[in-house]
């Protein structure tokens, strides 16, 4: 009995040893096992467990080293952790094993775009969309648009977004990005049409209301813009865009209001002539400005002042507290050192940066000598101050 048990244990040990060494039994499907490991690895990567992700992806590669997806999974891992050269090598190996795999071509194009290689990225994007059996052409065209946008190719980006919508007309993300692009290039009618399509397939959000405000403002329809602003305040009072809207409204010039002070009730002297009034004025060394209708107010006494029309916008306030507040605000303004420039990062565009720094699009274009499309490239120094304040 002991001999039988010993032989059984030795046989099992031999099986384990063969499996660990890479000699798999006929029943073991290496490709399927690799795909399972890839799925586990990517799930761990998504959850931030990089150790388990790498272990499973390495195991997948050991199971099926000639499977393109094994290298594809590792390429994505290296891309996430920032090992650029290893990611590039893994992508190239995956493409060499499966040159017609549109999914890998799309991902490799996105990777190349992140590295600033726009032309090569475009080659792989087009390879993906030209694949006859590829079902994600809309997503790839959207990636092409974002890549073009990050490289300052505004017109190309708009063209690619419209191509994406031909494949998937109700794609909400694409519709919203296209709306942003039209606003950035001041094509407000097209922006409004695109936003209407977006509203049919997506819920109202702070971003969509902000777009509506921008479009109405760009078209000069202030009443409609204010209406959307009221919706933003009511529906999303805690949104950062709501705060930005409030700040912008407070900075708008306020209308000048003319206020005439109420004349004092006084007892008229028995006899007052213009000559007497002039003499009284000269003797007190007072200087007054006559009213528009050339009438002269009759003072109650030599110390009283004439009633005048006051322009609130130009009125000098001698209140001590207000003067102190003004001085405090001035000190704060001097103390706050503004950010003078911004280095353009991937996936940023001029419109989003104008929101971030609360500077009008036209102003940013003028300060940086940009064309009407507002095209900017990754790594560009974007000035946030007028030319007179720009220093190298």
How high is the pLDDT of residue 335? 44
Phi (first) and psi of residue 263, to 5 degrees: -65, 145
Domain limits, the chain: 341-389
How high is the pLDDT of residue 22? 54
Cβ–Cβ contacts within 10 Å for residue 33, how many?
Answer: 16
Q: Kindly report the CATH number that applies to the domain delimited by 341-389.
A: 3.10.350.10
Cβ–Cβ contacts within 10 Å for residue 134, how many?
Answer: 19
Per-residue pLDDT of the chain (392 residues; tens, 9 = 90+): 444 443 343 333 343 333 444 566 667 789 999 999 999 999 999 999 999 999 999 999 999 999 999 999 999 999 999 999 999 999 999 999 999 999 999 999 999 998 989 899 999 999 999 998 899 999 999 999 999 988 888 899 999 999 999 999 999 999 999 999 999 999 999 999 999 999 999 999 999 999 999 999 999 999 999 999 999 999 999 999 999 999 988 887 755 555 555 555 554 544 444 444 344 444 444 444 444 444 434 444 444 444 333 333 333 344 444 444 544 444 444 444 567 788 887 767 777 787 777 787 778 888 888 877 677 877 788 888 888 888 76
Q: What is the mean pLDDT of the chain?
A: 77
pLDDT tens for each residue of 311-368:
333 333 444 444 445 444 444 444 445 677 888 877 677 777 877 777 877 788 888 8
| CA angle in degrees (0–180, nearest 5) for 360-311-286 | 140
């Amino acid at each position: 009995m002991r001999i039988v048990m010993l032989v059984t244990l030795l046989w099992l040990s031999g099986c384990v040893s063969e499996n660990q060494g890479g000699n798999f039994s006929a029943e073991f499907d290496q490709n399927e096992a690799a795909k399972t490991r890839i799925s586990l690895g990517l799930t761990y990567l998504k959850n931030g467990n990089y150790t388990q992700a790498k272990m499973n992806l390495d195991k997948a590669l050991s199971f099926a080293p000639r499977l393109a997806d094994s290298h594809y999974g590792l390429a994505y891992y290296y891309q996430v952790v920032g090992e650029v050269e290893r990611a590039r090598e893994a992508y190239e190996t995956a493409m060499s094993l499966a040159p017609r795999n549109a999914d890998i071509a799309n991902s490799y194009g996105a990777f190349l775009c992140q590295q600033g290689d726009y032309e090569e990225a475009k080659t792989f994007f087009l390879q993906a969309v030209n694949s006859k059996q590829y079902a994600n052409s809309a997503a790839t065209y959207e990636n092409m648009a974002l890549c073009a946008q990050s490289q300052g190719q505004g017109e190309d980006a708009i063209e690619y977004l419209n191509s994406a919508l031909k494949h998937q007309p109700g794609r909400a993300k694409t519709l919203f990005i296209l709306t942003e692009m039209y606003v950035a290039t001041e094509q407000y009618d097209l922006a409004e049409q695109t936003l209407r399509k977006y509203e049919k397939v997506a819920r109202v959000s702070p971003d969509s209301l902000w777009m509506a405000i921008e479009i109405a403002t760009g078209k000069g329809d202030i009443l409609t813009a204010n209406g959307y602003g009221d919706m933003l305040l009511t529906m999303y009072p805690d949104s950062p865009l709501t705060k930005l809207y409030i700040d912008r409204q407070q900075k708008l010039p306020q209308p000048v209001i003319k206020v005439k002070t109420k004349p004092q009730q006084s007892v008229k002297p028995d006899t007052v002539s213009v000559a007497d009034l002039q003499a009284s004025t000269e003797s007190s060394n007072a200087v007054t400005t006559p009213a528009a209708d050339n009438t002269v107010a009759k003072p109650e006494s030599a110390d009283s002042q004439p009633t005048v029309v006051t322009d609130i916008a130009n009125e000098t306030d001698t209140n001590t507290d207000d003067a102190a507040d003004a001085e405090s605000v001035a000190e704060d303004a001097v103390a706050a050192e503004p950010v003078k420039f911004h280095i353009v990062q991937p996936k940023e565009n001029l419109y989003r940066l104008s929101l971030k720094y609360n500077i009008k699009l036209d102003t940013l274009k003028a300060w940086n000598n940009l064309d009407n499309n507002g095209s900017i490239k990754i790594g560009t120094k974007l000035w946030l101050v007028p030319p007179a304040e720009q220093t190298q």
